Structures are given as C-alpha cells and as structure tokens.
Structure 1
Amino acid sequence: MDYPTVRAVHIGCAVISITLFAARGAMQLGGVDWRRWRWLRMAPHLNDTVLLAAAVALAVMSAQYPLVQPWLTAKLLALGVYVALGRFALKRSVPPWGRRAAFAAALASVGYIVAVARTRSVTLGLL
C-alpha cells in the first residue's frame, strides 16, 4: 500500500477507536451494560490492532520513529496515558466519580494525541 492509503486507514481507525471509546464510556457512565454486546467488546481490539499496524507502517514508510522524533514520542507516551485512563474509566469496580474523572482525562489525552498528530509539535505550536 502507498503512504496516503495507509495514512487514511490510520486516521479512519483512529476515528473509529475514539468513537467506540466515547460510546462505551458514555454507556458505562449511564449505567448501560455495554459488555453484553459481544461486538462492542471485540471491535475495539480488532480496530486498534489495525490502527497500530498502520502506525508502525507509517513510521517505517516515512522513516520517522518515536524516541527520534519528539512529536512521535509524545504521541506514544500520551497513548499509554490514554490506555491506562481508559481502562480505569471502563472498570466496573471503580466508583462513579473515579470513572467520570478518568473518562474526561482519557478524552483529553486522546485530544492531545490528535492535536500533536496534526501539528507535529509536542507543544502544539504554542511555544
């Protein structure tokens, strides 16, 4: 595949990933047991696998790698924060106030990831 196609797959999967997380988080906060739908439990994992594969392909195709390019390092670190906060936000055993805070923080971290991707700047071009 060529670079524009892989980039489009990556962006499309990112949109799907964020949408699925937001939907599951909203259902979790609304008291809806989203885990009863098998597809809603499995689709994010399948989508995120394609998202990650496309990200690796883009890095190789463009010869830009985390720990070499600061903006990619920031995206990777923010991704770790997003995953950790997202897991916390979707856990049943966490009190509602903790789920709400983790959900909001996870959405903020994914917003940062998108902003860094668009600006290719750790500081989002603000400094």
Structure 2
Amino acid sequence: MYTLIKHLHISLAAASITLFVTRAWWSVRDTSRLRRRWVRVLPHVIDTGLLACGVTLMVMLRAWPQHTPWLAAKLVALLVYIGLGAVVIKGGRSATLNPTTRATFAVLAVAVFAYMVGVAVRHHPASWLA
C-alpha cells in the first residue's frame, strides 16, 4: 500500500506543478483561460489529493515534522510555495501586478517546488545540496 500511495503522491505532484506552470503562463499573458471553471476547480482537486497522500505517507512512516527535520523543511517550503503561487495566480488578475512581477513570482514558486522535490528525494533540509 505504501508504494501505491507514494507513486500517487509523486504523480499528483507532477500534475500540480504542470498545471501551476500552465496557469502561471496564462496569468503572465493575461488570458481569459484562467477564468474557465475547470482551471479554477482542478488545481484544488489535485492539491487536496496531493496533501492527503502526503499526510497518509507521514502517518504510515510515523514521520512527524517536529522529529524529522527534512519533513519540517518541506512543509515550510510548501507554505512559501502556496504564498508565491497565490500572488502569481490570484494577484495576476489584478491590474496592479505587471507581467514581469507575475513571472518573477512564478519562477520563485517553481524554484521552491524544486527545493521541495530535492528535500523529498534526499531526505535532508539542504535539498539537492545534501
């Protein structure tokens, strides 16, 4: 069961970042595609599944953030990623954010996501540098 949930978690993470990059591109280009119903709903479905799989793996492994530094780092990075993503997608609808600002925040969000992947792969807060 562990392997199935782990692979589902990885697949959902891949789907999540792919959809984020697509939505970020649309946000930078200021296209109406962001207002489509499936574009507003699907990310929540994917990310809820991703989080549910992550929590399930955490419970199965008995890996608690207060005792597992790499997991704590990944969760903090997740909050940063969510914040940056919200600026890109939701802030992207505002006339106050220019495309360059949205693109900058999108690149930062993808970098944080890459950091989280490194933390998960290396099981170390230093991510790919460990």
TM-score, reference length from structure 2? 0.91
Whether 2:45 is the aligned partner of 1:43: answer no
Quick one: distance in 2 between partners of 1:64 and 1:51? 17
Quick one: distance in 1 between partners of 2:69 and 2:19? 28
Task: Return the letter of the residue paired with 1:123.
Answer: A
Please name the residue that 2:118 is paired with.
115
Whether 2:99 is the aligned partner of 1:96: answer yes
Alignment of 1:22-41 (within 5 A): 22-41=21-40
Please name the residue that 1:62 is paired with.
61
Please name the residue that 1:86 is paired with.
85
Number of aligned positions between the proteins: 126
* Contact map agreement 2:118 2:128 (CA 8 A) in 1: no
Provide, for residues 47-67 of structure 1, a one-character-per-residue CA deviation record: whole Å limited to 9, x for no partner: 111111100100000111112
TM-score, reference length from structure 1? 0.93
CA RMSD of aligned residues (A): 1.2
Secondary structure of the structure 2 residue equivalent to 1:97? helix
Task: Return the letter of the residue paired with 2:67.
Answer: V
Please name the residue that 2:4 is paired with.
5
Provide, for residues 61-99 of structure 1, a one-character-per-residue CA deviation record: whole Å limited to 9, x for no partner: 011111210000010000000000000011212222221
* Contact map agreement 2:29 2:99 (CA 8 A) in 1: no
Quick one: distance in 2 between partners of 1:112 and 1:87? 18
* Contact map agreement 2:6 2:53 (CA 8 A) in 1: yes
Which is bigger in relative contact order (C-alpha 8 A, separation at least 6)?
A: 2
* Contact map agreement 2:119 2:127 (CA 8 A) in 1: yes
Identity over aligned pairs, percent: 39
Compare the two structures and name the one with the higher helix fraction.
2
Secondary structure of the structure 2 residue equivalent to 1:112? helix
Secondary structure of the structure 1 residue equivalent to 2:127? coil
Gaps of 5+ in 1: none
